[in-house]
């Protein structure tokens, strides 16, 4: 009997020890899932495209900075960003799982910046329970380090002027100038984020560093460049209607809509149709490329972080021009001058026309992704499947960016100059991000 008891006790002790020593496995797929979870919450919370880009940049940067503690070959961004100090050093005597700590910091920063904290907390706690059950000692030391890094970065994040812009005055729309932007149907919302150029950028010297070429001088006189571009928007939609809903132009416009502010009116009720932002779409493309290339956790973090920084600086650059030029949207002029019943294919988003935000950030993101994955990276883009749209195939990131840009003309929400000059603006900015951060291709 005693021998049996000794055997049972010894078995329990060995089982307990082996359970404690079992390492916690955190994979690249866990990283992708966390990015997706934050995206889903932002769609639910209806974040504007600029604000969403800020969340992507900071949450991914938190994870990336921790991964540098494990992989010193990764580029150190600390000296690149204004007032950013090195994160706390990891205790080499502690049993720290850097991948786990990276996700802890990423989720903690994400939770700080979103509205629906409870959703991310529930997701986080499900991971915590699994990790803790696998190895409590490793989990606790890794979590503590991740939280310490998140606290360190939070202090820096709080100094980027975002909180100050929340109390600044709304954009004034009262003007007799016909060239000036006016709210558009159906919601007639105020201009979104008029003070976004005041947000601290990541790599830019100033918000106006990549100021685009000017749009054609405003004129409603037939034969002028501006009037011709206005008529082009009107005629393109007429041609698309003749071709029908299955036209390639219609498919492109709908695929790249990415407007989180779409409102639908039924009788006296108006409700929002929630969609992904342009930045969210490009983060989705980053995920597709990372998975196709088989990137590991650290490499995926690198790709997401550099892409997110390009997107964030792209929105700062674009919004600087939008509220400087304050250009009226095609819908406003077409309704006033040509056809008061005309509606664009896509719903006009609530901010000035020039330059095209999707064109700018698509150009910027495509440059960074091309640098990481190569010029001729073929991929199938299924980012919009969950929003009811089919998969589209692209031969390169540049191909996708060009299509995203022209979709704004097909959608009837931008003039040609906003599209063509916008993607140049974005690519110039993207090249700057690549050079400033010394982004290198990944071997995979």
Q: What is the mean pLDDT of residues 220-232?
A: 98
Convert the pLDDT of each residue in 144-193 to its tens digit: 999 999 999 999 999 999 999 999 999 988 788 999 999 999 999 999 99
pLDDT for 18: 46
pLDDT for 121: 98
Is residue 1's pLDDT more than 60? no
Q: How large a percentage of the chain has pLDDT more than 90?
A: 88
Is residue 9's pLDDT more than 60? no
**Residue 180 DSSP class:** B
3-state helix, strand, coil split of the chain in percent (to 5) is: 60, 5, 35
Convert the pLDDT of each residue in 36-81 to its tens digit: 999 999 999 999 999 999 999 999 999 999 999 999 889 999 989 9
pLDDT for 172: 83
**Residue 201 DSSP class:** P
Is residue 206's pLDDT more than 90? yes
pLDDT for 272: 65
Q: Greatest CA span in the chain, whole angstroms?
A: 104
Cα separation, 98 vs 143, whole angstroms: 9
Burial of 32 (0-12, 13-18, 19+ CB in 10 A): buried
pLDDT for 226: 98
Cα separation, 130 vs 395, whole angstroms: 40
The single residue listed with the structure tokens 């089982």 is 15
**Residue 196 DSSP class:** G
**Contact (Cβ atoms closer than 8 angstroms) between residue 26 and residue 254:** no
Cα separation, 211 vs 42, whole angstroms: 29
- DSSP letter string, 250-310: HHHHHHT---TT-EEEETTEEEE-----HHHHHHHHHHHHHHHHT--HHHHHHHHHHHHHH
**Contact (Cβ atoms closer than 8 angstroms) between residue 83 and residue 122:** no
Cα separation, 209 vs 80, whole angstroms: 16
Q: What is the mean pLDDT of residues 235-253?
A: 95
**Contact (Cβ atoms closer than 8 angstroms) between residue 130 and residue 79:** no
Cα separation, 107 vs 60, whole angstroms: 9
pLDDT for 167: 96
Q: What is the mean pLDDT of residues 210-227?
A: 98
Task: Give per-residue burial for 303-337: e unless 16+ CB within 10 Å, then b.
Answer: bbbbbbbbbbbbbbbbbbbbbebbbbbbbbbbbee
Cα separation, 124 vs 127, whole angstroms: 5
List of domains in the chain: 22-163 (no CATH), 180-437 (1.10.606.20)
Band (pLDDT 50/70/90 cuts) for residue 274 is: confident
Tokens describing residue 362 = 């698509």
Burial of 187 (0-12, 13-18, 19+ CB in 10 A): middle
Q: How large a percentage of the chain has pLDDT more than 70?
A: 93
Q: Mean pLDDT score of the chain, rounded to an integer?
A: 93
pLDDT for 270: 53
């Amino acid at each position: 009997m005693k021998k049996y008891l000794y055997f049972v006790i010894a078995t329990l002790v060995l089982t307990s020890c082996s359970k404690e020593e079992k390492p916690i496995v955190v994979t690249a797929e866990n990283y992708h899932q966390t990015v997706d979870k934050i995206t889903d919450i932002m769609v639910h919370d209806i974040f504007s495209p600029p604000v969403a880009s800020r969340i992507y940049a900071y949450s991914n940067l938190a994870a990336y900075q921790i991964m540098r503690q494990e992989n010193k070959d990764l580029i150190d961004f600390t000296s690149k960003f204004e007032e950013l100090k090195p994160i706390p050093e990891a205790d080499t005597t502690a049993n720290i799982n850097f991948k786990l700590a990276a996700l802890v910091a990423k989720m903690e920063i994400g939770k700080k910046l979103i509205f629906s904290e409870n959703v991310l907390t529930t997701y986080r706690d499900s991971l915590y329970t699994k990790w803790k059950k696998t190895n409590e000692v490793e989990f606790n030391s890794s979590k503590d380090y991740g939280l310490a890094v998140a606290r360190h970065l939070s202090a820096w994040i709080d100094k980027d002027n975002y909180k100050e812009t929340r109390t600044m005055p709304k954009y004034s729309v009262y003007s007799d100038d016909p060239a000036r932007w006016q709210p558009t149907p159906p919601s007639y919302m105020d201009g979104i984020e008029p003070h976004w150029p005041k947000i601290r950028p990541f790599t830019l010297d100033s918000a106006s560093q990549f100021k685009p070429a000017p749009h054609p001088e405003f004129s409603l006189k037939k034969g002028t460049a501006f009037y011709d571009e206005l008529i082009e928007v009107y005629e393109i939609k007429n041609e698309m209607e003749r071709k029908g809903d299955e036209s390639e132009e219609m498919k492109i416009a709908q695929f790249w809509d990415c407007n989180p502010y779409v409102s639908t009116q039924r009788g006296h009720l108006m409700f929002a149709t929630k969609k992904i932002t342009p930045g969210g779409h490009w983060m989705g493309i980053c995920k597709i490329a990372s998975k196709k290339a088989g990137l590991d956790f650290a490499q995926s973090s690198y790709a997401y972080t550099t892409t997110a920084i390009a997107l964030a600086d792209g929105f700062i650059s674009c919004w600087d021009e939008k509220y400087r030029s304050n250009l009226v949207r095609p819908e406003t002029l077409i309704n006033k001058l040509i056809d008061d019943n005309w509606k664009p294919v896509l719903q006009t988003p609530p901010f000035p026309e020039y330059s095209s935000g999707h064109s700018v950030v698509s150009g910027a993101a495509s440059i960074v992704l091309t640098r990481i994955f190569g010029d001729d990276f073929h991929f199938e883009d299924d980012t919009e499947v969950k929003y009811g749209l089919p998969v589209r195939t692209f031969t390169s990131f540049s191909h996708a960016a060009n299509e995203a840009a022209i979709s704004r003309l097909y959608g009837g929400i931008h003039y040609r100059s906003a599209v063509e000059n916008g993607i140049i603006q974005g690519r110039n900015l993207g090249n700057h991000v690549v050079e400033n951060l010394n982004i290198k291709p990944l071997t995979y």
